[in-house]
A = this chain, B = another copy of it.
């Protein structure tokens, strides 16, 4: 496992404010790791609403199935996250393990098991011994405090090289509300120890339906427009919690997604998701370059997305970026294999604003030396203009380095 912090880690870490109604605590339960925390308990005041989006895997983990089934209640009192074991592909044991964890948490918190939300990340296929939470969770309810955000973000890490947090404040009506978020990854799309998990907390008084709408719309161009290696986890989980505590400061209760007062909040909520998902790309396993793929001139946005994903998931494009090679031939290949409308003779391709190909051939003004210099940057934008229509889309990824192979080839052993 790599221990050095990714060179793409954001230089500044924000001060995380408290969110009224949320208390956090972490512990080292010895699930897999030694000498580090591996359990996070978030305590949520009564009246907290919840929303979630999950992996589309046909083989989801037991905690994903647990959360999906509890979402319709719309209320949450506790979130329990463990790292080290994904509780995925664990058969009946896995289901029993989620039930037991929720029971232990519900007893400690004094709530119904249906108000307990769970997420696990780590090795697949190993039974998760939920009895390890016994005692630990009860103790955490005692020690939970409203700060601890960085500790929380650290407790949920697996192959991550840095904790990922984001925060923002925004007006809802005339009251200030706060949104805090944390994520772990190394991919949305990822190894068995690097599932993407993300948790968003706000004191805004939002109904569960509103929160679900915000989340569903928000992930489309953030977490769903992110790929590390094309491998979708069994455990991807994004949960949002709204305590409603800001109502005490005059924040209006919002129960319709179309409420115009939600406009500024929606924008900032989306920015938090974008911020966290970019941090996940910046911590892609072995990543040395953050890569933004922009496809424009497509016939439709889904078509642009599919082509952008084809480029972003191409091992040949990703290794070329790692080699600082503006290899537009591989970009053409990836456009061609996407199966979406494309006309070779209308294609233009740029790297970091320098056009290397236009109208289906090498750009005559293209200067190899200039491009080679540009490819040394830590962030590379690949822009493809299809010249067919007006739709565009954008996907984030990272390069494919030998380090990725080392991390994933030497991992379990």
A329 & B232 in contact (Cβ 8 Å cutoff) = no
Query: How many angstroms between the C-alpha atoms of A60 and B360 in the bound complex?
Result: 11
Q: Are A58 and B336 in contact (CB under 8 A)?
A: yes
- When the two chains form their complex, are residues B337 and A232 in contact, meaning their CB atoms are under 8 A apart? yes
Q: Collect the chain B residues with CB atoms within 8 Å of residue A357's CB.
A: 89, 125
CA distance A337 to B56 in the complex (A): 7
Interface residues of A (CB under 8 A from B): 55-60, 86, 88-94, 123-127, 190-192, 229-234, 313-316, 319-320, 322-325, 327-330, 332-342, 344-345, 347, 357, 359-362, 400-402, 404-406, 408-413
With contact pairs A93-B361, A409-B325 given, residues A59 and B335 touching in the complex (Cβ less than 8 Å): yes
Contact A408 B320 (CB under 8 A): yes
State the CA gap A173–B375 with chains docked (Å): 62
Task: Give the number of copies in the complex.
Answer: 2
Indicate the member of A192, A314, A315, A404 with the most B CB atoms within 10 Å: A315
User: Contact: B89 with A361, CB < 8 Å?
Assistant: yes
Among B58, B320, B340, point to the contact of A342 (Cβ < 8 A). B58
> Is chain A's interface secondary structure helix, strand, loop, or mixed overall?
loop
A59 — which chain B residues lie within 8 A by C-beta? 332-333, 335-336, 342, 344, 347
| B192, A329: Cβ atoms closer than 8 Å | yes
Contact B58 A316 (CB under 8 A): no
Query: Once the chains are docked, how many angstroms separate the CA of A91 from the CA of B359?
Result: 7
A339 and B234 within 8 A (CB): no
Chain B contacts for A57, CB-based, 8 A: 333, 336-337
Contact B230 A330 (CB under 8 A): no
Residues from chain B with a CB closer than 8 A to the CB of A342 are 58-59
| Chain B residues in 8 Å Cβ range of A192 | 316, 327, 329-330, 333
Given contacts A124-B333, A125-B329, contact A89 B232 (CB under 8 A): no
Whether B336 and A234, one on each chain, are in contact in the complex, defined by CB atoms closer than 8 angstroms, is: yes
Given contacts A56-B339, A231-B316, contact A361 B91 (CB under 8 A): yes
Give the nearest-CB partner of A324 in chain B.
Answer: B413
Q: Distance in Å from the Cβ of A393 to the closest Cβ of chain B? A: 17
Asked if A405 and B400 sit within 8 Å, CB to CB, the answer is: yes
